[in-house]
Amino acid sequence: MRIVILDSLTLGNDLDLTPLGTFGEVINYTTTHPSETLKRIENADIIITNKVLITKEIMQNASNLKLIAIAATGMNNVDVDTAKALNIKVKNVVGYSTASVVQHTFAMAFNLIEKLPYYNARVQDGTWSNSNLFTDVSQPFSEIAGKSWGIIGFGTIGKNVAQIAELFGANVIYYSTSGKNKINDYHHDSLKDLLAKSDIVSIHCPLNKDTENLINASNLNLLKDGAVLLNLGRGGIINEADLVEELNKRELYVGLDVLLKEPIEADNPLMHLKNPNQLLITPHIAWASVEARKRLLEGIMKNIEWFLKG
């Protein structure tokens, strides 16, 4: 078997990919430009891709291709209809990043709620040393206990966030974007009511026709002053232009791990807010703990084993 990895750098330099060699010859590319994809996979039996697009044209010209192993849960980078028509198997990996995404949700929440970057800067620049006070409460912060935590998207990750938020004393409400997750121990609300009621809102849904621009100028104004909004779903769920306008108008705190275009462009208005302390952006890393990436590799190997066993 000839196995081609198209974008191994997205999995991290610290991840040992040598076990894949047990299945055959492995050719590893750290990144792949769209213009390079076809040339690199034309003789491959198996390809491993995280974000490289595998289009109809590419598959039609890769005569040996038998399996596309997606190094992720999302499958929107592969034309799965064409793959099915050409009898090319497509396998993704699910569930590997749940703990990592849930942890990152709370890491972002704590940073924004407790103003940790602000306080760290006060220590590092000597402000606290020169204050003659044992404490510094110049930026008031609140507890999660007693607050309303609204969750948009109530799959496995959303439910895990709900359980932990409850342990911190939050009152959890949720909105099911699919309309299918309404039988559980939590209160389901309309999107408008959830936004209006919640002190903290976290997004954990996929990007699809029902969720694209779900949060926009028509409902951002429903959020309370001082509310925290977190997006750990997909870029495109929040309309970024509308979000910038709202952030520049009033006090909101926003954490984004995902953006419409990644990496972020230097001229993205999110990079030029009137008050940058209202925004925390991380470079799409919620999924990427060491443990999650190891589980991802294990899932890829299981998918290849499944394929080879017929």
Domain covering 98-281, topology: Rossmann fold (3.40.50)
Q: What is the mean pLDDT of the chain?
A: 97
**Range list of β-strands (E), 119-178:** 148-152, 171-175
CB-facing half-sphere around the CA of 181: CA atoms within 13 A: 19
Residue 40, classed as helix, strand or coil, is: helix
Tens of pLDDT along 191-241? 999 999 999 999 999 999 999 999 999 999 999 999 999 999 999 999 999
Please report the pLDDT score of residue 310 as a whole number.
Answer: 84
Are 2-94+290-308 and 98-281 equal in CATH topology? yes
Is residue 37 within 8 A of residue 53, CB to CB? The reply is yes
Task: Let me know if 280 is exposed, middle or buried by CB neighbors in 10 A (0-12, 13-18, 19+).
Answer: buried
**pLDDT above 90 (res 184):** no
Q: What average pLDDT does the segment 48-52 reach?
A: 97
C-alpha–C-alpha distance, residues 202 and 17, integer Å: 34
Domain 2-94+290-308: state its class. alpha beta
Catalytic residue numbers? 234, 262, 284
With beta carbons less than 8 A apart as the criterion, state whether 240 and 260 touch.
yes
Q: Could you tell me the pLDDT band of residue 182, with boundaries at 50, 70 and 90?
A: confident
The pTM for the full model equals 0.95
Find the helix or strand (DSSP H, E) in which 89 lies. Answer: strand 89-91
In which band, very low, low, confident or very high, does the pLDDT at 181 lie, cut at 50, 70 and 90?
Answer: confident
Give the bridge partners for 90, in sequence order: 68
Q: What is the pLDDT of residue 265?
A: 97
Angle at 153 between CA 200 and CA 181, to 5 degrees: 125
HEC letters along 176-192: CCCCCCCCCCCEECCHH
Q: Compute the distance between CA of residue 82 and CA of residue 101 in angstroms, rounded to an integer.
A: 31
Beta bridge partners of 54: 78
Domain boundaries, the chain: 2-94+290-308, 98-281
pLDDT tens digits, 110-157: 999 999 999 999 999 999 999 999 999 999 999 999 999 999 999 999
- Determine contact, residues 50/76, Cβ cutoff 8 Å: no
Largest CA distance in the chain: 73
